[in-house]
Structure formats: structure tokens, C-alpha cells
């Protein structure tokens, strides 16, 4: 019998009282979908370190969903990273998302661990097999990679260091994902690779976020979204159709799950889950 797809939702630590209120309501609503886990982002250099810990702790105490904190090694020492890893182990966290992270503006030091593969090795060294370790993957190639093969080599180093599975940057072209899987197989990268999904609900936010992280919004999608202007209802209906068809193609093609970038809002993800008939 085919296993149901793994479903997970990503949050970021809010910085305002209103943001905290919105996140907590979102988490409660998405808990009703019984996802496999929630993940919580971590600002590179520890810029949201306390916010990540507070959000993780609240989710643990107020939902029944497993929580996977992100941990980025850039800008932090081995000792600082080991302290955070130990803290999460003590809290009973069973899953981590291990990342390199981007060096924050004005920070001169990249830290003692230069790559995410080094962080994976540190987690394994300190905790053996306590954590299920997720890492990042890039079907459309990491914006700072020298080339496609360099990017694949980086993913292989993370897998060889002990990563259990990977979550991709979001994309809107399923062919990019399936071609990427073929290339991973050729390089003997055999960990499950879950596609990241970005619901389309706001044009400006999508473009700003995509430009920042190097995700490609195909020109035909961008132009159609531009055309809707202030007509939010039509824009969201079009966005839902596009992302639903993407998710449907990914699941039919054998993707092991879907990881939703929620931006701390529930409706976009819930609408997709319902259309995909993945509602519990």
C-alpha cells in the first residue's frame, strides 16, 4: 500500500505582538490538518535565536505536532551550535533542519563551520542518531553555487555526513524537480527529497521573497499575476489553480511529501490541502 505523502508547514519567528498572535492562530488552525511536523526558521548568525526557541517551545506546549527547528551555522561558533543542539535534545525535539544560512549584513565572520555538511557532522557527533536531520536542496540551483554539479556535490556531502532527508527551495516548474531527482540518483544521493511549496496569495510578497531567495517565478505566471492588480480574489484563485496543479503533478510523479512555506498564514495551505484531498 502506498504511503500517504509527508505534509509539513514552515513558520518564521514573529517580531511583534500582533505577529505572535497571528502565528499562534495559524498554528492552531494548521494543527487540525495533523501534519507530520512544523518547522521554524532561524536567522543566520543567530539573529532570531531566542525567537526560534520561544516559538518552538510554544508549539510544543500548545499543539500535538512534532516541531523541527531550523539551525544555521554561519556566524556561530562550534560551542554556540553545540549548546543549541543540546538544548533542543533536552527539550525532546526529534527533528532538525540543518542549514548554512546567509551571512547577515555587517557581520564580518562566517563562523567556525563554513558549510551545512559540517553542521550535519557536528549534530551526528554530539547526538548520534537522536535527530532526524533535514537539509536544503535546490532544483533550480542555489544562487551562490558555481554551477549545477557544484550544487549537487554540496547536497551529496550533506547526505554523506548523515542527513536523513531534504526539503527543496520552492519552485513552480515540476520538470525542474523531476530532472533534479534524476541527477541526484546519478550522483548516488538516495535520501528522500520533499518539494517545498509556496502558496500564491499576494503578488508583491511573492516577487520580493522570490528575488531574495533566488526562486524563479516563470514569466507567464508573473505577467498574469501583475495583470490582476488589486483584484485579490482573482489573483488568489489563479494562484490556487497554479499551485494545485503543481502539487498534483508532484504527488502523481512520486514526490514523498509536500512542505508548505506558510509565511505564518493558514488559508493558502489549507485550500491546497483540501483540493488535493489530503485533509484528515
- Residue-wise pLDDT tens digits, 86-142: 999 999 999 999 999 876 555 555 678 989 999 999 999 999 999 999 999 999 999
* Active-site pick, 10, 18, 140, 216: 10
What is the reported pLDDT for 214?
A: 85
CA atoms within 13 A on the CB side of 18: 0
Q: Tell me: the pLDDT tens digits for 53-99?
A: 999 999 999 999 999 999 999 889 999 999 999 999 999 999 999 99
What is the reported pLDDT for 3?
A: 79
Reply yes or no on whether 226 is catalytic.
no
Pairing of strands 67-72, 37-40: parallel
Burial profile 99-112: b = 16 or more Cβ within 10 angstroms, e = fewer: bbbbbeeeeeebbb
Count of residues making up the chain? 280
- State yes or no: pLDDT of 242 exceeds 90: yes
**Beta carbons within 8 Å of 43's beta carbon, 6+ residues apart:** 13, 49, 51, 52, 72, 101, 104
Amino acid at each position: 500500500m502506498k504511503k500517504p505523502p509527508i505534509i509539513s508547514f514552515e513558520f518564521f519567528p514573529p517580531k511583534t505582538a500582533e505577529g505572535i498572535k497571528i502565528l499562534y492562530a495559524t498554528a492552531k488552525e494548521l494543527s487540525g490538518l495533523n501534519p507530520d511536523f512544523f518547522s521554524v526558521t532561524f536567522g543566520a548568525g543567530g539573529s532570531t535565536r531566542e525567537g526560534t526557541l520561544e516559538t518552538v517551545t510554544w508549539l510544543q506546549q500548545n499543539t500535538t505536532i512534532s516541531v523541527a527547528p531550523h539551525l544555521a551555522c554561519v556566524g556561530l561558533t562550534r560551542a554556540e551550535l553545540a549548546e543549541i543542539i543540546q538544548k533542543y535534545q533536552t527539550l525532546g525535539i526529534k527533528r532538525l533542519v540543518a542549514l548554512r544560512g546567509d551571512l547577515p549584513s555587517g557581520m564580518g565572520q562566517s563562523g567556525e563551520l563554513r558549510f551545512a555538511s559540517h553542521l550535519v557532522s557536528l549534530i551526528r557527533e554530539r547526538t548520534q542518531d537522536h535527530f532526524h536531520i533535514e537539509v536544503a536542496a535546490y532544483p533550480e540551483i542555489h544562487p551562490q553555487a558555481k554551477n549545477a554539479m557544484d550544487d549537487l556535490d554540496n547536497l551529496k556531502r550533506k547526505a554523506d555526513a548523515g542527513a536523513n532527508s531534504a526539503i527543496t527551495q520552492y519552485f513552480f516548474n515540476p520538470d525542474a524537480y523531476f530532472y533534479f531527482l534524476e541527477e541526484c540518483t546519478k550522483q548516488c544521493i538516495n535520501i528522500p527529497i520533499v518539494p517545498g511549496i509556496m502558496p500564491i496569495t499576494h503578488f508583491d510578497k511573492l516577487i520580493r521573497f522570490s528575488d531574495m531567495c533566488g526562486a524563479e517565478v516563470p514569466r507567464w505566471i508573473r505577467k498574469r499575476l501583475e495583470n490582476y492588480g488589486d483584484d485579490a480574489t482573482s489573483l488568489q484563485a489563479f494562484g490556487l489553480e497554479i499551485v494545485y496543479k503543481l502539487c498534483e503533478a508532484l504527488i502523481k510523479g512520486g514526490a514523498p511529501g509536500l512542505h508548505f512555506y506558510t509565511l505564518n498564514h493558514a488559508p493558502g495551505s489549507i485550500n491546497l490541502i483540501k483540493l488535493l484531498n489530503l485533509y484528515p
